[in-house]
Amino acid sequence: MGNLKFGRETIRLEEAQARVLRFVRRMEKERVPLTEAAGRRLAEEIRADHPVPHFRRSGVDGYALHAEDTAGASGRTPVRFEVTETIPCGVMPQHSLGRGQAARIMTGAVVPEGADAVVMLEMTDRLERDERTEESDAAASVGVLRAMMPGENISPIGQEVAEGETLLPGGRKIGPGEAAILATFGYSHVPVFKKPKVAIFSTGFELLPVEASLRPGLIRNSNSYMLACQVTDAGGEPTIMPALPDDPGKVQSALAEALEWADVLITTGGVSVGDKDVLVELFAQWDGELHFNKIEMRPGSPTSFGCWQGKPLFALSGNPGASYVGFELLARPYLRAALGSSDPLPQISSACLDADYRKGSAYPRYVRGTSRVEQGMVKVKPAGRDQSSIMISIKDADCLILIPAGGQGAQAGALVTTISLMEK
């Protein structure tokens, strides 16, 4: 690619994202206990191997009966039924119902043969159930105070889920609703994609380890911990590596060593003119493939991406804001795709800008934003000072606001495109 530092080809973010997704390596599968599957992504499509419900289920507590037999029933003219048995949940009925017969039945229990409706307890003259006399229910009779329609208060087989129905696509993230489905269909262990192992490197001689005391001119490394949190949230397994040395040969060895176990490499810093530029120097001499090193975006235009030994290297800008945004727009989509998501790019939305944003830019700008909803309308404003060097306001961002390129910025009240920072 010639002079990588000054002869960079500038591409649009959408093109950069497309190039990243072209090199995704899908993770291998593993099976984990359902109790440990929260937040993981399914490695297989889940289909219903049985209908739900798989028996005719009573939707209420009452009496199962034949609807026709209730014709004309009312509070003044109850129709009497002979009670054949009591059917608790989880117990199969003993008897088919004949005409004029009813069975005491609980919510969720199996409706007996011969019944095509369940009348609620409240619509009978046996309003109060007494546990101690339940045994005698079978011998008793009940008066029904309302005429019933066939099918009333019965969930037919397959009402909720038909046999063979696709329940969850591969790549779906497992939350409470997914866990309920997996449990219903007997997945005590769940096929999920292995967590991508992500090695996180920093560059820069000004960086101290987090446990070190502050010294003049030096700051503690915060990018690596921020990125580790982002990686975890995206379903990866981060490892914070020692800072990279200032020697392209040694950088190459450090990365090569990590490649032995890591699925993804992320570096911060060393990509722009004026930095120590170790990544730029690496890209000039390595035997990997550099897929881009300049994007039409602020912050993080020198964000670079390459593949080495088939594995991706995201070289993010060193500024905290630029690293943060670079991860969200490029590395997170990679991780999501590697974990099987069919929709790995960030979720695009829109909002009403709540404050002027007066800073023009030659490139589209992705401003960290804080949103709120007022009368159904999403209002968004920059989250504190959003200079890319400012770390303190990253915590307040729940979206990125896209400010189009140009000299004007955007005015309060304008409808703007936003990018959600919530993991789907």
Is 129 a binder of its own copies (CB under 8 A)? yes
Is 138 a binder of its own copies (CB under 8 A)? no
Give the residue with the Cβ less far from its own copies, 79 or 241. Answer: 241
Contacting its own copies (CB under 8 A), which of 15, 55, 68, 75?
Answer: 55
Segment 394-413, which members bind its own copies (CB under 8 A)? Answer: 394-397
Could you tell me the smallest distance in angstroms from the CB atom of residue 126 to its own copies? 12
The one segment of 10-18, 77-85, 225-233, 338-346 that binds its own copies by CB under 8 A: 225-233
Is 221 a binder of its own copies (CB under 8 A)? yes
Contacting its own copies (CB under 8 A), which of 277, 294, 334, 357?
Answer: 277
The one segment of 136-144, 229-237, 290-298, 358-366 that binds its own copies by CB under 8 A: 229-237
Is 166 a binder of its own copies (CB under 8 A)? no
Q: HEC states along the chain?
A: CCCCCCCCCCECHHHHHHHHHHCCCCCCEEEEEHHHCCCCEECCCEECCCCECCCCEECCCEEEECHHHHCCCCCCCCEEEEEEEEECCCCCCCCCCCCCEEEEECCCCECCCCCCEEEEHHHECCCCCCHHHHHHHCCCEEEECCCCCCCCCEECCCCCECCCCEEECCCCECCHHHHHHHHHCCCCEEEEECCCEEEEEECCCCEECCCCCCCCCCEECCHHHHHHHHHHHCCCEEEECCCCCCCHHHHHHHHHHHHCCCCEEEEECCCCCCCCCHHHHHHHHCCCEEEECCECCECCCCCEEEEECCEEEEEECCCHHHHHHHHHHHHHHHHHHHCCCCCCCCCEEEEEECCCECCCECCCEEEEEEEEEECCEEEEEECCCCCCCCCCCHHHCCEEEEECCECCCECCCCEEEEEECCCC
Contacting its own copies (CB under 8 A), which of 11, 102, 207, 329?
Answer: 207
Contacting its own copies (CB under 8 A), which of 171, 238, 333, 344?
Answer: 238
Axis-axis angle for helices 278-285, 248-259 (nearest 10): 80
Is 135 a binder of its own copies (CB under 8 A)? no
Give the residue with the Cβ less far from its own copies, 123 or 291. Answer: 123
Give the residue with the Cβ less far from its own copies, 307 or 370. Answer: 370
Is 140 a binder of its own copies (CB under 8 A)? no
Could you tell me the smallest distance in angstroms from the CB atom of residue 15 to its own copies? 26
User: What is the Cα–Cα distance from 147 to 110, expressed in whole angstroms?
Assistant: 22
Site string for its own copies, 66-95 (x = CB under 8 A): ----------------------xxxxx---
Contacting its own copies (CB under 8 A), which of 324, 334, 357, 363?
Answer: 324
Is 382 a binder of its own copies (CB under 8 A)? no
Is 331 a binder of its own copies (CB under 8 A)? no
Is 2 a binder of its own copies (CB under 8 A)? no
Contacting its own copies (CB under 8 A), which of 19, 29, 50, 95?
Answer: 50
Amino acid identity of residue 76, one-letter, is R
Is 31 a binder of its own copies (CB under 8 A)? no
Is 6 a binder of its own copies (CB under 8 A)? yes
Is 184 a binder of its own copies (CB under 8 A)? yes
Segment 338-367, which members bind its own copies (CB under 8 A)? Answer: 349-352
User: What is the Cα–Cα distance from 192 to 32, expressed in whole angstroms?
Assistant: 7
Is 21 a binder of its own copies (CB under 8 A)? no
Segment 278-317, which members bind its own copies (CB under 8 A)? Answer: none
